[in-house]
């Protein structure tokens, strides 16, 4: 059993701020309580206390990647600043073991009058590198940032994207034991983002510890082994990234008045209630209708199969905002309900929606995800204005149908269903583009292997490899 201490330990951390309504209250708070104590009078306070964080505790082991998610103002950035030592907690303690590289906000550690090159050496020194060590890594940092001739220009001339690119390049290339990032991975084009993810994956493989804040669900699910949901300064859920993200999205869809019961339900739930796609021995199951294993060369005619064991245990229903999705299912061309699919066959995902209030500009959508929560493909009528329904009355019912050809490789998948629209709030003001209702992991299905299949990854593009073998002047073609 390993006795290695965690890379990060946070114990009962709280951070409180004094909020003064006017500047003169600061002077009163400095003088009056002392004077009142001298006179033997009850002391008064001239501020309101705001709890940015309350009793936060968690540990992160070496080599772990943990994501922190939460609505704006939930305390995420405050927590990261305390972990990095930028802020001191009002109570509690934080222990960090190892060299930290952190990118918490735009231009952290940069002198705006220095050039990018000079700031690389300055920032690397803050991270504990000597000048010779920085010099050895400079070319790597410059290539990663990819800001061209701006590397020798004052950073005050940089765009926000260039700030982040240079700061992130330094952070991920100084060989940190612990990498802490606050929302920086969303900066830049797709190529730069992929480069960042590749470097983070390299740090992970090297045993580095990563803690980061992101609103990007895909990033948290892809990179993290664990996630923590903060809300109003409290850690209300910790567990599987997919489960935590689902509850975070559920909570984010609500206004403050409707969030309280949902928040309490999240606090009481288990963040590790994951989908178990294996038997008691840990073997992946591919059962048939009777629980027996289906043949890998099942013919296309077998695309009428329904497996009762494929029932989603991770379904999350958003609170209704005027509509209710019901009866989500996958059917084949004959209209039979199925959840064991075969590559190349035609299917349809459909669901009914009951409207309890009148809504305008109504759209419908679906999304296919992996067991890990990675988004693969989907469709929404909200992308094309002519596909939106101008108006739906209270009491009306709609059926949304999404026909598709199964191009997925063999595995287990999940389907989301959603309906958006514009409704009026209690004061009659329009609420535009909100989810009227949404179901996460509404359906679970499995794709069976196809005979002679060569596809890898998640999607079968129908590739038919052609291999040419040359031996001297002879040429053979293998198809």
Residue 268: is it exposed, middle or buried by C-beta count within 10 angstroms (0-12/13-18/19+)? Answer: exposed
- Confidence at 389, pLDDT banded by 50, 70, 90: very high
Letter string b/e over residues 337-366, b meaning 16 or more CB atoms within 10 A of that residue's CB: ebbbbbbebebebbbebbbbbbbebbbbbb
Beta strand residue intervals within 333-429, DSSP E = 340-341, 346-355, 359-370, 375-380, 389-392, 397-405, 411-424
Q: Is the pLDDT of residue 106 over 90?
A: no
| H/E run at residue 325 | strand 323-332
pLDDT at 303: 42
Q: Is the pLDDT of residue 130 over 50?
A: yes
Averaged pLDDT for residues 84-96: 93
Q: Which two tokens stand for residue 73?
A: 């103002």
Length of the chain: 479
- Confidence at 287, pLDDT banded by 50, 70, 90: very low
Min mean pLDDT across 70-84, 159-173, 298-312, 343-357 is at 298-312
Give the contacts of 38 (CB within 8 A, at least 6 positions apart).
none
| H/E run at residue 238 | strand 234-239
pLDDT at 301: 42
Long-range own/partner contacts, residues 191-194 (CB < 8 A, 24 or more apart) = 192/146, 192/165
Eight-state DSSP code of residue 246: H
pLDDT digits (tens, 9 = 90+) for 396-431: 999 999 999 999 998 899 999 999 999 987 777 777
Dist. CA 64–CA 177, nearest whole Å? 11
- CB 448 within 8 Å of CB 286: yes
Long-range own/partner contacts, residues 109-114 (CB < 8 A, 24 or more apart) = 109/167, 110/155, 110/163, 110/166, 110/167, 111/155, 112/154, 112/155, 112/156, 113/154, 113/156, 114/154, 114/155
Averaged pLDDT for residues 439-449: 91
Q: Which two tokens stand for residue 331?
A: 């059917």
pLDDT at 190: 64
- Confidence at 10, pLDDT banded by 50, 70, 90: very high
Dist. CA 47–CA 17, nearest whole Å? 9
Dist. CA 334–CA 294, nearest whole Å? 21
Q: Which two tokens stand for residue 354?
A: 């009951």
Angle (CA) 190 195 199, round 5° = 150
pLDDT at 373: 82
Dist. CA 267–CA 262, nearest whole Å? 9
- Confidence at 62, pLDDT banded by 50, 70, 90: very high
Question: What residue ranges define each of the domains in the chain, with the CATH number in brackets?
Answer: 8-14+57-268 (3.40.50.300), 300-447 (2.70.50.60)
Q: Is the pLDDT of residue 388 over 70?
A: yes
Averaged pLDDT for residues 215-230: 87
pLDDT at 310: 83
Give percent above pLDDT 90 in the chain: 45
Q: Which two tokens stand for residue 358?
A: 């009148």
Q: Is the pLDDT of residue 3 over 70?
A: no
Kindly give the pairing relationship between strand 100-103 and strand 91-96: unpaired
Averaged pLDDT for residues 294-319: 66
pLDDT digits (tens, 9 = 90+) for 261-286: 888 889 988 878 654 444 333 433 33
Give percent above pLDDT 70 in the chain: 88
Q: Is the pLDDT of residue 23 over 80?
A: yes
Q: Tell me the pLDDT of the chain averaged across its residues.
A: 84
Higher pLDDT, 304 or 379: 379
Min mean pLDDT across 129-143, 261-275, 353-367, 435-449 is at 261-275
């Amino acid at each position: 059993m390993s006795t290695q201490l965690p890379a990060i330990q946070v114990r009962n951390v709280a951070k409180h701020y004094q909020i003064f309504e006017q500047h003169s209250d600061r002077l009163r708070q400095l003088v009056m309580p002392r004077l009142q104590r001298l006179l033997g009078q009850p002391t008064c306070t001239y501020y309101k206390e705001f709890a940015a964080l309350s009793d936060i505790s968690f540990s992160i082991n070496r080599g772990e990647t943990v994501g922190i998610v939460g609505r704006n103002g939930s305390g995420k950035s405050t927590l990261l600043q305390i972990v990095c030592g930028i802020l001191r907690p009002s109570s509690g303690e934080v222990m960090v073991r190892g060299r930290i590289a952190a990118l918490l906000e735009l231009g952290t550690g940069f002198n705006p009058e220095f050039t990018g090159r000079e700031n690389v050496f300055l920032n690397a020194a803050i991270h504990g590198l000597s000048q010779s060590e920085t010099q050895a890594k400079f070319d790597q940092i410059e290539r990663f940032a990819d800001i061209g001739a701006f590397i020798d220009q004052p950073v005050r001339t940089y765009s926000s994207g260039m700030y982040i690119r240079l700061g992130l390049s330094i952070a991920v290339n100084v060989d940190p034991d612990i990498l802490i990032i606050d929302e920086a991975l969303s900066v830049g084009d797709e190529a730069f983002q992929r480069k960042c993810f590749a470097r983070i994956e390299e740090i992970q493989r090297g045993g580095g510890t990563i803690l980061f804040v992101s609103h990007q669900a895909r990033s948290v699910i892809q990179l993290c082994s664990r996630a923590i949901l903060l809300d109003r300064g409290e850690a209300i859920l910790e567990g599987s990234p997919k489960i935590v993200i689902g509850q975070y999205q559920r909570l984010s869809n609500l206004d403050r008045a409707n969030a309280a019961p949902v928040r309490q339900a999240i606090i009481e739930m288990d963040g590790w209630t994951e989908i178990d796609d294996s038997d008691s021995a840990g073997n992946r199951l591919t059962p048939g209708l009777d629980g027996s294993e289906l043949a890998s060369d099942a013919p296309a005619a077998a695309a009428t199969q329904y497996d009762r064991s494929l029932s989603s245990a991770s379904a999350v229903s958003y609170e209704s905002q005027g509509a209710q999705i019901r009866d989500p299912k996958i059917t084949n061309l004959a209209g039979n309900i199925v959840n064991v699919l075969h590559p190349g066959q035609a299917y349809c995902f459909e669901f009914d929606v009951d409207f309890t209030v009148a809504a305008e500009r109504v759209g419908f959508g679906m999304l296919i995800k992996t067991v890990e929560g990675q988004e693969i493909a989907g469709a929404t009528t909200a992308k094309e204005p002519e596909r939106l329904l101008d108006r739906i009355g209270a009491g009306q019912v709609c059926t949304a149908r999404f026909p598709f050809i199964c191009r997925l490789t063999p595995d287990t998948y999940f389907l989301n269903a959603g309906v958006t629209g514009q409704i009026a709030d209690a004061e009659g003001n329009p609420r535009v583009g909100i989810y009227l209702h949404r179901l996460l992991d509404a359906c679970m299905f499995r794709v069976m292997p196809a005979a002679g299949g060569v596809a890898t990854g998640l999607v079968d593009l129908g590739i038919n490899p052609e291999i040419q073998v040359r031996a001297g002047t002879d040429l053979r073609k293998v198809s």
